[in-house]
Amino acid sequence: MNLQNPKKFKMLIDQAHESALNVLRPISRKYDKAEQSYPKELDMFASLIDGMNDGGEGINAGAAVGKRGNTDSGNKNGVNMSTVLGVIEMCYGDTGLLLSMPRQGLGNSAIAAVANDEQLERFKGTWAAMAITEPGCGSDSAAIRTTATKDGNDYILNGEKIFVTSGERADAIVVWATLDKKLGRAAIKSFVVPKGTPGMKVERLEHKLGIKASDTAVIRFIDCRVPAENLLGHAEIDVAKGFAGVMETFDNTRPLVAAMAVGCAKASLERIKEIFKDQLDENYRTPYLQTSHIAAQIYRMEAEWEAARLLTMKAAWMADNKKPNSREASISKAKAGRICNEITLKCVELAASVGYNEEELLEKWARDSKILDIFEGTQQIQQLIIARRELAKSSSELK
C-alpha cells in the first residue's frame, strides 16, 4: 500500500475540497440552526456529483466491496478509495450536509454490498436510507426484532426502527428484519422499502446534539407489504454462514464513517493551527520536548489524525482489491471515531472562548463529531469485532 493519495484522484480531491469550502461551509451554520430543514442548495450539487460518478470513480456512497478472496495480482485504487478521499474533503466542509446529500445515503452502501445484479440496476439512482437500530436493540444488530413474514409473492414487515438517517427525505429505506426469530442472526435480511409504501410511517424526527442538517427519523412498520424481489441478495437462510452476509454491509460503510470522522477532525485541526500559528514550527524542526505545551498537544493530535487517515485508506484499499477487510474496517472506524471526538473537543478547549461561541464552527464540529463514534457500531462494538478477528473467535465464543 502506498501511503500517498493516488495521483489519479487529485482532481477529485481538489474539487471536493473546493466544494467543501465554497458550497458546504458557507451554509453550515444556517442549517445547524434550521434543524430538520432540507438544504435545497444540495440539489444542484448532488447532480454534479452524479455526473462525476457516471464518468468513473467518484464520491459514491454505494461503493461496492465486491466478492472476497480474490487474489488477482496488481494494485487497484477504485471507487472505495475515491469515495473515502472525497468524503474526507466533504466532511471537512460539513458532516451533516454530506449526510443530507441525495443519493449518498448509507442504504446505498447496503444495496451495493448484498444486492444481486438485477437489483443493482433496478435501484440505481435511488436515494436509500438504512434502518437497523431498534428500541432496546442498539449496537447489537443481531438482536433485531422487526419481522418479515412471507405471504405469497410479498413479505409483510412489522416493527419499529429508530435513528434512521435521511429517513423522511430518502426515496427508499433499506430495512433489516428477521425471517425467523428462532434461527437467530442467520435469518436477518435487508429489504428495500420505497417511500410511500402503505404500512410504513415516519413517526417523528429527532432533535439532536449535532449533524442537525440531517433528518433522523423514527419509522414504524405495520403490516407493510413489500415485494419479495425487494429482498436484497437471496432469501435462503444459511445457518452455516450466519450473519456474515449481512455484516458485509458494515465492511462497506464503516470506512466511509471513518472518512467522515477524519474530515471533521481535519477541519478542527486546521482551524486550531491557524489560531496558534505563531507558536507552531511549520517545518517541525523543533524537537517535540522543546515545544510549548500547546504546540505539543497540536502535534500529538496531528499524529493521531494521520494514523486514523492511513487506517481508513487501508480499509478502502483492501475493499478495492477484494481482500477481506472486516477487521480493518472496524479498526479504522474505532480509531477515527475516537480521535475525531478527542481532536474536536480539545480544539474547543484550546481555543477557549473563541472555541465555545457560535462565531466559530469549532463548537459545531465538536457536536457533530460525537455521532461519528456511535453510529455504524460504537467504540465498544468495534473493539469486540477486532478482538474476534484477532483471536479467530466466533460471536458465540466471544461476547
- Cβ neighbours around 80 below 10 Å, total: 28
Spatial distance between the Cα atoms of 312 and 330, rounded to a whole number of angstroms:
10
Burial class (CB in 10 A: 0-12, 13-18, 19+), 391: exposed
Cell (9 digits) for 206: 429527532
Q: Which residues in the chain belong to E strands, given as ranges?
A: 128-131, 147-151, 154-165, 172-178, 188-194, 200-205, 216-227
Tally: H helices and E strands in the chain: 13, 7
Spatial distance between the Cα atoms of 151 and 279, rounded to a whole number of angstroms:
68
Q: Name beta bridge partners: 155.
A: 150, 226
Spatial distance between the Cα atoms of 328 and 159, rounded to a whole number of angstroms:
32
**Residues sharing a CB contact under 8 Å with residue 317, sequence separation 6 or more, in sequence order:** 1, 77, 80, 81
Cell (9 digits) for 384: 469486540
Residue reference for cell 455504524: 376
Spatial distance between the Cα atoms of 336 and 372, rounded to a whole number of angstroms:
8
Q: Is 330 helix (H, G, I), strand (E, B) or coil?
A: helix
Contact criterion met (CB below 8 Å) for 363 and 356: yes
Q: Is 50 helix (H, G, I), strand (E, B) or coil?
A: helix
CA distances 198 to 163, 190, 225, 228, 312, Å, are: 21, 18, 7, 16, 40
Give me the phi and psi of 124, to 5 degrees please.
-60, 130
| Residue of 178, 180, 98, 103 whose CA lies nearest to 134 | 178
Spatial distance between the Cα atoms of 362 and 351, rounded to a whole number of angstroms:
9
Write out the catalytic residue numbers.
Answer: 376
